[in-house]
Each structure stands twice: as structure tokens, then as C-alpha cells.
């Protein structure tokens, strides 16, 4: 498995990979944002913007170059309102007296390659990129138990969290019925200096 930066010529492959493999990210699944094989315009825009920061890492199996194959705006809002609210509640910039933070976003591994430590490797390589760019702080909005486990094993700690069954509308209805074992969103951080 080779870990390398994602260059512009691979953006299309990345988007196709996300269409096929990111649908089961716990919040996407709960909001029914996209189904396997189908993209979501806003999510793809968000992904491209992240790729354009030129700090994204991919893990490629050179021996198996399987061609990466790869709406509802209210649902997208439900997810991002949850993420923004948690981030606004705990302003990490003020909390850690920093001006910038390296955000681990859209961690995604092909279904066929899961459980082999690839996500752990992607986080480790991302930390190298963050250090190279002199970031003092890394953060992540970890939406499920597995991403939380992965980040914690890479030295991340919990700053704050939001239980999904407490994210409700004005009638007390759960906005995102996230499936077990994913019960909460965690804002995690790692200080690099
Ligand atoms: N069941 C049980 N444990 C699991 C599972 C699973 N399905 N998947 C991962 N884990 C555990 C592993 O056991 C391992 O723990 P351990 O070291 O204690 O044994 C740990 O999580 C790390 O596993 P990796 O092999 O590094 O993870 P993987 O390469 O399989 O990728 C990922 C995990 C990225 C969460 C993948 O399942 C995926 O793409 N899911 C859909 C998208 C998603 O939810 N992304 C995270 C969004 S949050 C964010 O981006 C910050």
C-alpha cells in the first residue's frame, strides 16, 4: 500500500471512491444523504474544496489498480449544522490560542480494504503533512466509533462531544437517527508542539 498526496489529476478518482464508499459514514447514512454509488452535490463540493487545500493523502494499492468506481439539501444542512454547532461551542482557536488548525476530514477507505489499518495510516501520514506545514494543532469531527478509535490510537483527545439522541428538533424528534454502535459525535484534537 502506497501513501501519497492527492494531486489534481486524481480528484475524479477520489470523488468516485467517495460515491462508492462514503455513504456508510454514520451521519450520511442517518441523513440518507447519498446512497452507495450516488454522489451528493454539496458533499462533493465540500470534498473538492478540501482537496484543493493540497494536504490530502490517499493510500493506493499499486498491485490492484481496480478502477475506482464509483438530494437533499435539508439533509446536508442537518449534518453540517450539527458539526458547526459543536465547533462553535468549543472554539478550538481560542481554547488553544492558535490561529489555524489542521482538520482531518472525510476519512474514507474502500469497503474491500477495511480493517487493515489503512485509516490509521492515513491519519499518521496526515500528521506528517500537518507538521510539514507547521500546524500546532490538529482536529477532527469524528462521527463514528471507528473513526474515534482510530484518532485516539493516533494520540488525539476528546475536546467535546454531542450525543446523537440529544440532537433533536423543536418537537424533541431525533434529527439524525444514527445507527448503533455510533452514538455520538466527538470533537478530537492533538497538539503537535
Ligand atoms: N468494526 C469494528 N471495528 C472496526 C471497524 C468495524 N467495521 N472498522 C474499523 N474498526 C476498528 C479496527 O478494529 C481498529 O481498531 P484496533 O486498532 O483497536 O483493532 C480501528 O477501528 C482502525 O481500523 P482501520 O483498519 O485503520 O480502519 P479502516 O481502514 O477500516 O477505515 C473507516 C475505517 C475510515 C471509518 C472506514 O470504515 C470508512 O471508510 N467508513 C465510512 C466513512 C466514515 O465513516 N469515515 C469517518 C468519518 S469521520 C472523519 O472523517 C474525521
Confidence at residue 67, expressed as pLDDT on a 0 to 100 scale: 45
| Residue 185 Cβ < 6 Å to ligand 1 | no
For the residues of 30-77, what is the DSSP string, one character each?
A: HHT---TT---HHHHHHHHHHHTTT--EEEE-TT---------HHHHH
| Residue to substitute in 50, 61, 70, 114 for testing ligand 1 pocket (most ligand atoms within 8 angstroms of CB) | 114
Residue 71: the pLDDT is 42
Q: Report the share of the chain in percent with pLDDT over 70.
A: 94
Q: Give the tens place of pLDDT for each residue, 54-100.
A: 999 999 986 655 543 334 578 888 999 999 999 988 889 999 999 99
Residue nearest to atom 31 of ligand 1 (CA): 119
ipTM passes above 0.85: yes
* Confidence at residue 20, expressed as pLDDT on a 0 to 100 scale: 87
Q: What is the pLDDT of residue 72?
A: 53
**Pairing, β 184-191 against β 137-142:** antiparallel
Set of cell numbers at residue 55: 494536504
The residue contributing the CA closest to ligand 1 atom 48 is 142
The position carrying cell 440532537 is 167
Burial of 111 (0-12, 13-18, 19+ CB in 10 A): exposed
Q: 179: Cβ below 6 Å to ligand 1?
A: no
pLDDT of 18 higher than 60? yes
pLDDT in tens, 98-142: 999 999 999 999 999 999 999 999 999 999 999 999 999 999 999
Distance CA 164, CA 82 (A): 9
Q: What is the pLDDT of residues 146-177, one digit of tens each?
A: 999 999 999 999 999 999 999 999 999 999 99
Structural domains of the chain, ranges and CATH numbers in brackets: 2-191 (3.40.630.30)
CB of 151 within 6 A of ligand 1: the answer is no
Amino acid at each position: 500500500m502506497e501513501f501519497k498526496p492527492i494531486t489534481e489529476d486524481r480528484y475524479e478518482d477520489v470523488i468516485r471512491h467517495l460515491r462508492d464508499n462514503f455513504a456508510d459514514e454514520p451521519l450520511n447514512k442517518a441523513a440518507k444523504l447519498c446512497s452507495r454509488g450516488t454522489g451528493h452535490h454539496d458533499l462533493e463540493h465540500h470534498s473538492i474544496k478540501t482537496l484543493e487545500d493540497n494536504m490530502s493523502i490517499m493510500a493506493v494499492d499499486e498491485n490492484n489498480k481496480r478502477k475506482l468506481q464509483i438530494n437533499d439539501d435539508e439533509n446536508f444542512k442537518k449534518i453540517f449544522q450539527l458539526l458547526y454547532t459543536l465547533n462553535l461551542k468549543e472554539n478550538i482557536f481560542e481554547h488553544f490560542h492558535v490561529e489555524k488548525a489542521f482538520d482531518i476530514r472525510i476519512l474514507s477507505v474502500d469497503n474491500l480494504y477495511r480493517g487493515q489499518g489503512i485509516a490509521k495510516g492515513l491519519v499518521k501520514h496526515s500528521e506528517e503533512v500537518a507538521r510539514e506545514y507547521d500546524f500546532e494543532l490538529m482536529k477532527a469531527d469524528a462521527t463514528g466509533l471507528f473513526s474515534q478509535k482510530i484518532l485516539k490510537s493516533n494520540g488525539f483527545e476528546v475536546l467535546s462531544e454531542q450525543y446523537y439522541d440529544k440532537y433533536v428538533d423543536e418537537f424533541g424528534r431525533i434529527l439524525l437517527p444514527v445507527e448503533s454502535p455510533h452514538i455520538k459525535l466527538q470533537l478530537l484534537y492533538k497538539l503537535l508542539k
